[in-house]
Structure 1
Amino acid sequence: MKRTAVAVSAVALLLPLAGCGGSAEAGDGSTVTVTVGYQSKTINTVTAGTLLRSLGSFEKQLNALDDGITYKVNWQDYATGAPITAQMTAGKIDIGSMGDFPLLLNAARGKQLNQPTRLVSVTGYNLRGGLNTIVTAPDSALADLEDLRGKKVSTSVGSAADGTLVRALQRAGLDPEKDIEKLNQQPAVGASALSAGSADALSQFVAWPGLLAYQGKAKALYDGAELDLPTFHGVTVREDFAKRRPAVLDAFLKAQAEATDYLGEHPVAAAERVADATGLPSEVVYLYNGAHGIATFDPAVKPQLVAALKEDVPILKAAKLTGDVDVDAFVDDQYVKKALGAEYAERLSSAPPTAASEVWPKGADETRTFKTPAELLTYVARHKDGVRAAYVPDATTGTLWFADKAVWVADGEQLLPFLTTATAEAYVAGHGGARVITYDEALERAS
């Protein structure tokens, strides 16, 4: 009988890592170490990383192979996708997960070093781009993108959040290279810089914007969903590994599908699991990964996501981070199609859930859903001491946000939430009689 062991995760990039493929005879068979690179706090990848590891689904699928091999899974945790790519192209990580922009760099670097990689599945996505947000300090006078002119903006160059920053500035008529001072920083460093005042704004990916807003350390300045361009994270694999160990990759993709289904069926429990593993507040995890969260999880490689990936290439080329990338050659969905079988077509055609308002009551293992933000406010006003978290979708983009951190507008009998002051004021300007009100005023009106 084959056994599966879990190796201790290493976080230091320079530690020696055991790559897959080397096997040593052990008893009646060989031993193979599969090294998986993931980003525990980039919670849009949990179905290929944090949650998957917590559930033990990959190890169970490997056990089910019953091929006489003892498999060891070596989980490697990183803050961003760049070091995962470095280790993959060095032959030290077999399977990795990262965002769309890092995926393109993964493809380019793999081809450059003759260590080709392939995008084999998707973890989570947002069809409008809401996974990335630009935030500023809670007491900042900055109100819109134009206010960033001449300011210091922290981001991680080459990341999806950097792509959002570049596109947003360009649409606002600003030159990303000349009109701001871009600080290339890791997310945690950028968050500290924002708090210390050495950065005026921060453009980052999940879960940093939501975390900082939840902690009262930031407010949203720009919702990435305003771009109306899909953003996603996905799973990449070394091509030689996929060809040499197709059964292992198949086991991984089946396990990813199991983790995806678990998240969909038990969103609160999944949020708690991820929170326990990462130290992130459960309320923040649920903002992104909940039943109506910012991210939708599905391993299918949807055509609109591939199309968006192609639109990302010029942004990276303009930043001189890569040359041309053959996206069609990089995307290889044959493995996930085989792993999921007949259900793949159903997943491919599935759509994100309809936007809704949610309350997570204290002590509850499930949330309550409301048709309108006003109905949610009525509930919160009547149960102020019994609410763990309340979430509302932006009135224009549908991006979920914390109700007490949203910018509220009263328009007749309507109470409308917005992520940012700019979008709220834009709505007010186009609707006579509408006005911005405080959260407390919104609660009072709804009670």
Structure 2
Amino acid sequence: MKKLMLGMLMSLLAVGLIGCGTDKEAGSSSDSKNDGPVKIRIGIGYATEEPLWLMDAAPELTKYNGDKYEIEFQQFRANSDRLNAYRAGQLEGGTLGQGALIMAASQGVELKVVASVAKDTPNEGFNFPFMAKKGSGIDSVKDLKGKTIGIPDFKSPTDMWARTALRRAGLDPDKDVKFSVLPTPAVEESVKSGKIDVGLVPQPFYAELEPKGELQTVFTSKDGVPVDEDFLSLFFDPKFISENEEAFEAFIEDFQTTMKYYLENEKEARQILLDKEFVLASQDVYLNMEDSNRSKDLSLNRESWVEVQKILLEEKWIEKEVDLDKLLDDSYLK
């Protein structure tokens, strides 16, 4: 499997919508009736998925990996590519942002959200900062009128956080500011050079940049969406679940086990990922950076899905409500 490079673009923040292709065209491993482990192909990104990566990096932490199921991670930079691979039957599931999953369901993609991978919780864990040059006079969201905000992609969680923060401050995101799409590693220099006035700085970039004292936080993701978001979630094909229930349940149980290990042994778990070259980053920064909040039992916060869906409707990113009772299913969690 391709090495997971944490220092690359934080593609989870760059939520693309679905491209062309028909749903579940070919290749689903659920068609296989072999006596061996069921192959589970999961589409992943480049950041925030450490407890999931541990299932591959340290299979000794799991009980059923290699017995009841065999995990295969496939890495994608863009969420649109991940969704297209899923719709073509090349994946049984994957990780996606909350808004992207609602938008996918609104476009008719059949999927079930089965577990939370990472949360964005007010005052708990890392919240994503939007930063400006110190001394620029940009000290609050209200100072952003006429300014340019750097984001990884349009219709992304980052875009949603910025737009809702602007609206809460009485600004119109469609008239009062400009948005510039640029890769995350370019944000620091783009702010310093004046190419943009404010930009999102995720981990581990924030842990490397903050001690320099050259940039300051203007607002965070929670100024825009002040609820406990299931920022990154795990979805699966409903047909695969029904046809491979034993393997799926075993996978979920092992994921809960590795999540528990990660939360109770965070530095040791991160060291495993560094040693196995799942992450290529500065050891000191990576081992000590603040992580996002996570759900120890992988449970979903349904109330936050209701709130995020309201925002997507207000922004006209979706045309009508998605049936969240059909979309969300964490009944397999113990």
TM over 0.5: yes
Equivalent AA in structure 2 for residue 158 of structure 1: K
**CA separation in 2, counterparts of 1:229 and 1:235?**
19
Aligned AA (1:244): E
For residues 245 and 217 of structure 1, the distance between their equivalents in structure 2, rounded to whole angstroms, comes to: 53
2-structure distance, mates of 1:146, 1:172: 6
> Separation in 1 of the partners of 2:141 and 2:42?
38
| Distance in 2 separating the partners of 1:98 and 1:264 | 21
Distance 1:56 1:223 in 2: 36
Does the CA contact (< 8 Å) of 1:166 and 1:176 recur in 2? yes
Distance (whole Å) between structure 1 residues aligned to residue 91 and residue 213 of structure 2: 37
Within 1, Cα distance between the matches of 2:113 and 2:129?
25
Larger radius of gyration: 1
Matches within 5 A, 1:124-143: 124-128=118-122, 131-138=127-134, 140-143=136-139
Q: 2:4, 2:280 within 8 Å by CA — same for their partners in 1?
A: no
Give the 3-state SS of the residue equivalent to 1:62 in structure 2. Answer: coil
Which amino acid is 1:23 matched to? Answer: S
| Displacement of 1:58 | 8.5
Q: Give the letter aligned to residue 21 of structure 1.
A: S
CA pair 265-252 structure 1, distance change in 2 beyond 3 A: same
Q: 1:297 to 1:211 in 2, by over 3 A?
A: farther
Cα distance in structure 1, aligned partners of 2:91 and 2:211: 34
179, 182, 185: which one pairs with 1:182? Answer: 179
**What amino acid does structure 1 have at the position aligned with 2:98?**
D
CA contact (8 A) 2:262 2:269 kept: yes
Task: After TM superposition, give the deviation of residue 225 of structure 1 in Å.
Answer: 3.4
- Summarize deviations over 1:28-70 as a string: whole Å, max 9, x none: x4675421111232x2x3222x3333222697523333xxxxx
Instruction: Give 5+ residue unaligned stretches, structure 1.
Output: 1-6, 66-70, 341-447
Q: Tell me, in whole angstroms, the C-alpha distance in 2 between the residues paired with 1:154 and 1:264.
A: 32
Per the TM alignment, residue 311 of structure 1 is displaced from its structure 2 partner at its CA by 0.9
Are positions 1:329 and 2:326 aligned together? yes
Measured on the aligned residues, the alpha-carbon RMSD in Å equals: 3.2
**Shift in Å, 1:159:** 2.4
* Residue aligning to 2:218: 221
Query: Could you report, residue by residue, the CA deviation over 1:60-109 in whole angstroms, capped at 9, with x for unpaired residues?
Result: 523333xxxxx553211234544322322222221211222223223334
Residues 138 and 219, structure 1, Cα contact 8 Å, conserved in 2:
yes
Is the CA contact 1:138–1:217 (under 8 Å) kept in the aligned structure 2? yes
2:104 to 103, 106, 109: 106
Structure 1, residues 261-281: CA drift from partner, whole Å, max 9, x if none? 111221111233345522233
More strand by percentage:
1
1:53 and 2:49 correspond: no
Look up the equivalent residue of 2:313 and give its one-letter code: K
Change (3 A) 1:201 1:59: same
Distance 1:235 1:133 in 2: 24
Deviation at 1:175, TM superposition (A): 0.8
The question of whether the paired residues in 1 share the 8 Å contact of 2:121 and 2:227 is answered with: yes
Secondary structure of 1:277's match?
coil
For structure 2, the 5+ residue unaligned runs are: 6-18, 20-25
Distance verdict in 2 for CA 1:10–1:268, change over 3 Å: closer
Secondary structure of the equivalent of 1:228? coil
Task: Give the Cα separation in 1 of the matches to 2:127 and 2:262.
Answer: 18
Structure 1 length-normalised TM? 0.60
Counterpart residue number, 2:14: none
Instruction: Name the counterpart of 1:252.
Output: 251
SS of residue matched to 2:138? coil
* CA pair 307-255 structure 1, distance change in 2 beyond 3 A: same
3-state SS of 1:128 partner:
coil
Report 1:271-420 matches (<5 A): 271-275=270-274, 276-282=277-283, 283-284=285-286, 286-289=288-291, 294-302=292-300, 305-323=301-319, 324-336=321-333, 340=334
Per-residue deviation, residues 417-441 of structure 1 (Å, max 9, x unmatched): xxxxxxxxxxxxxxxxxxxxxxxxx
2:15 matched to which residue of 1? none
Report the Cα distance in structure 2 between the residues aligned to 1:242 and 1:87, rounded to whole angstroms: 18
- Paired residue for 1:146? 142
Partner Cα separation in structure 2 for residue 94 and residue 119 of structure 1 = 12
Instruction: Indicate the residue corresponding to 1:119 in structure 2.
Output: 113
Shift of 1:186: 4.5
Higher relative contact order (CA 8 A, sep 6+): 2
Q: Which residue of 2 aligns with 1:168?
A: 165
Deviations 1:233-277 (A, max 9, x none): 211111122122222221221121111111122111123334552
Specify the code of the residue in structure 1 equivalent to 2:251.
F
TM-score (normalizing by structure 2): 0.78
Q: Structure 1 residues 134, 122: closer, same or farther in 2, change over 3 A?
A: same
Aligned positions of 1:24-103 closer than 5 A: 29=35, 32-41=38-47, 43=48, 45-48=49-52, 50-56=53-59, 61-65=64-68, 72-79=70-77, 81-103=79-101
Tell me, yes or no, if the aligned pair for 1:209 and 1:220 is still in contact at 8 Å. no
Q: Deviations for 1:192-217, whole angstroms, at most 9, x for unmatched residues?
A: 64455322211365555445435767
